[in-house]
């Protein structure tokens, strides 16, 4: 029924309790194609017109997003890249959950931001848009190969406020220490929240890989902390549904870093003013992580958890950590 590896099932039960089966079954469905309407290049309404040609519709709770519903199993979906608006930079393929997480940071024009695990640049592009090309986004990834697509994507999207830092340089981030209004850690993870798009991945996942990811997550949080200025924010994000990669990692970080405190994602989102009224409804239980997780770790209604079952998005987790002072 669940179609989840046997060894992994207790992890789902820990995360979702009595809803574990429904959550697992939702990961077996086909995912839609979500698009971010890039207002740096074109008003959202104009970009949306291009998407409607493929059956796309606006998302009421995310004004800068459109969704092309998942086709039937025997139907091939159209290629979004064939849309004229895509080549012009009006559109970016990005799951609605990923877009929503970026908005929930409240990061706006003028901020100094470090995207520490930028990869191909999806969240760097989203942040640049909501910053209206004002301020600075520093995009970095310790694996320089993952950064290769970002340069072309930034150019196509009309982003002018992003700097890509090359990990091969000597001390590529040294000048940013203690200066960032916000640091985004989109941490490496098992990707359990994206199984709709990568259904074979669940059968390749092993316990040893989970443990490796947990160690990497601890390390990147330690690496991120010194870049946050006093009063600034550290945002920890994964596309995993597992507590071991999410709440447990934040709990471990806070246990060894007394200079940070967990704050409410919904309060940060409200203060930022970027999330619509309909979007704020997505920030109420059960999405604010209300479920108990057994003896190891306490429930935190300050964190955000999205999933195909509850929000119709890929699975994401987000915690907001304030640097004291």
Which domains are present in the chain?
6-31+95-323 (3.40.50.150)
**Catalytic residues, which ones?**
239
Confidence of residue 78 (pLDDT cuts 50, 70, 90): low
DSSP string, 269-291: HHHHT-S-HHHHHTTSTTTT---
pLDDT at 141 (0 to 100): 97
pLDDT at 297 (0 to 100): 37
Q: Check if the beta carbon of residue 202 is closer than 8 Å to that of residue 195.
A: yes
Confidence of residue 295 (pLDDT cuts 50, 70, 90): very low
198 C-beta neighbours (distance < 10 Å), count: 12
Q: Is the pLDDT of residue 71 over 80?
A: no
Residue spans of beta strands (DSSP E) within 97-253: 112-115, 136-140, 162-165, 180-186, 228-238
Percentage of residues of the chain with pLDDT beyond 70: 93
Q: Which long-range contacts (CB under 8 A, 24 or more apart) does 117-120 make?
A: 117/141, 117/142, 117/184, 117/185, 117/186, 117/187, 117/188, 117/220, 118/146, 118/147, 118/150, 118/164, 118/186, 119/146, 119/147, 119/150, 119/186, 120/146, 120/147, 120/149, 120/150, 120/153
Structure tokens at 262: 């967990």
Average pLDDT over residues 212-219: 98
Average pLDDT over residues 118-147: 97
Average pLDDT, the chain: 92
In the block, tokens 């990869």 appear at: 119
Q: Is the pLDDT of residue 144 over 50?
A: yes
What pLDDT, in 10s, does the model give residues 233-278? Answer: 999 999 999 999 999 999 999 999 999 999 999 999 999 999 999 9
Q: Check if the beta carbon of residue 50 is closer than 8 Å to that of residue 85.
A: yes
Confidence of residue 299 (pLDDT cuts 50, 70, 90): very low
Average pLDDT over residues 212-241: 98
Separation of alpha carbons 234 and 262, rounded Å: 10
Confidence of residue 177 (pLDDT cuts 50, 70, 90): very high
């Amino acid at each position: 029924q669940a179609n989840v590896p046997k060894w992994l099932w207790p992890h789902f039960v820990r995360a979702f309790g009595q809803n574990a089966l429904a959550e697992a079954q939702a990961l077996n469905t086909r995912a839609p194609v979500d698009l971010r309407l890039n207002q740096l290049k074109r008003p959202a309404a104009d970009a949306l017109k291009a998407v409607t040609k493929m059956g796309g519709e606006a998302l009421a709770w995310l004004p800068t997003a459109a969704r092309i519903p998942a086709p039937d199993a025997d139907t091939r979906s159209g290629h979004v890249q064939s849309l004229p608006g895509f080549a012009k930079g009006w559109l970016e393929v990005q799951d609605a959950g990923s877009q929503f997480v970026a908005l929930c940071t409240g990061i706006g024009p003028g901020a100094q931001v470090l995207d520490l695990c930028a990869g191909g640049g999806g969240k760097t592009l989203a942040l640049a848009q909501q910053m209206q090309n004002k301020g600075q986004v520093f995009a970095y990834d310790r694996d320089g190969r993952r950064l290769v697509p970002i340069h072309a994507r930034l150019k196509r999207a009309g982003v002018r406020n992003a700097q890509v830092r090359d990990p091969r340089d000597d001390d590529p981030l040294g000048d940013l220490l203690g200066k960032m209004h916000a640091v985004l850690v989109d941490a490496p993870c098992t990707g359990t929240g994206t199984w709709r798009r990568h259904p074979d991945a669940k059968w390749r996942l092993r316990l040893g890989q989970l443990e490796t990811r947990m160690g990497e997550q601890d390390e990147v949080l330690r690496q991120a902390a010194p870049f946050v200025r006093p009063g600034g924010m550290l945002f920890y994000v994964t596309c995993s549904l597992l507590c071991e990669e999410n709440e447990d990692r934040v709990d471990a970080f806070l246990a060894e870093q007394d200079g940070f405190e967990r704050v409410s994602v919904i309060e940060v989102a409200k203060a930022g003013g970027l999330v619509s009224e309909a979007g704020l409804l997505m920030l109420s239980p059960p999405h604010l992580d209300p479920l108990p997780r057994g003896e190891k770790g306490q429930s935190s209604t300050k964190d955000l958890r999205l999933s195909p079952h509850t929000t119709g998005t890929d699975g994401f987790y987000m915690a907001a950590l304030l640097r004291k002072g």
